[in-house]
Structure 1
Amino acid sequence: MDDYLLTFETDEEGEQVFVHGNPAGLEYLAKQLLEIAAKAKAGEFPHDHYFTEEWGGNELSSEQQSEKYRLVHHVKVYGWPTVKGGKPYSRK
């Protein structure tokens, strides 16, 4: 990923998420999120995947930014039309 920096990392417990990006990477993420939001606002149920190269994609950078955190190789973002999110659609 030479065009921009965009990584997601978690602490060892997976309780915190850290997003690292240079201006181009953050702009890319913002654009993607706005597109998902627009589809959800229109009543759709969009989602998108972001992968590192090791996991078959090129949307996320593979350069870990902190040695004490774990690099995330796959991020999946869901857009829901209401504040209830995915709960009404999940299986019980």
Structure 2
Amino acid sequence: MIEKPELLSVVTKTDGDVIYIHADLSGLKRLRGSIDSMITELESGVCDHDHLHTEDWAGYELTNTMLESERINGCTQVHHVKLYAWT
């Protein structure tokens, strides 16, 4: 079982051109676990996807965390990340 991350946060600039990912060790393991699972499926010829949500969006995979400088510059917290793997 993949542990709940202490820090795995995705933030975007208001124009959406740049995203920032903040993670600690458990957060990176959570992201790696999702990617590893999709790789396993792809190796079997299966296209897969995963959803990462913040608690605000009824999930636990992402945290609500943003640098103060990002907040001041009008960045937005991302509450739902969809990962897709294609053959």
**Both structures adopt the same fold (TM-score exceeding 0.5):** yes
Q: Which residue identity is paired with 1:79?
A: A
Unaligned regions of 5+ residues in structure 1, if any?
82-92
1:45-85 CA distance string (max 9 Å, x none):
1101110011111110012233122110000000111xxxx
Does structure 1 retain, via aligned residues, the 8 Å contact 2:5–2:30? no
**What 5-or-longer segments of structure 2 have no aligned partner?**
none
- Superposition map of 1:53-64 within 5 A: 53-64=55-66
1:23: how far off? 1.3
Number of aligned pairs? 80
Post-superposition offset of 1:41: 2.3
Q: What code does the residue aligned with 2:78 have?
A: V
Matched, 1:75 2:77: no
| Distance in 2 separating the partners of 1:56 and 1:3 | 15
Match of 1:7 among 6, 9, 12: 9
Paired residues for 1:6-85 under 5 Å = 6-65=8-67, 66-67=70-71, 68=73, 69-81=75-87
The percentage of counterpart residues that share the same residue type is 31
Give distance in 2, aligned partners of 1:54 and 1:71: 11
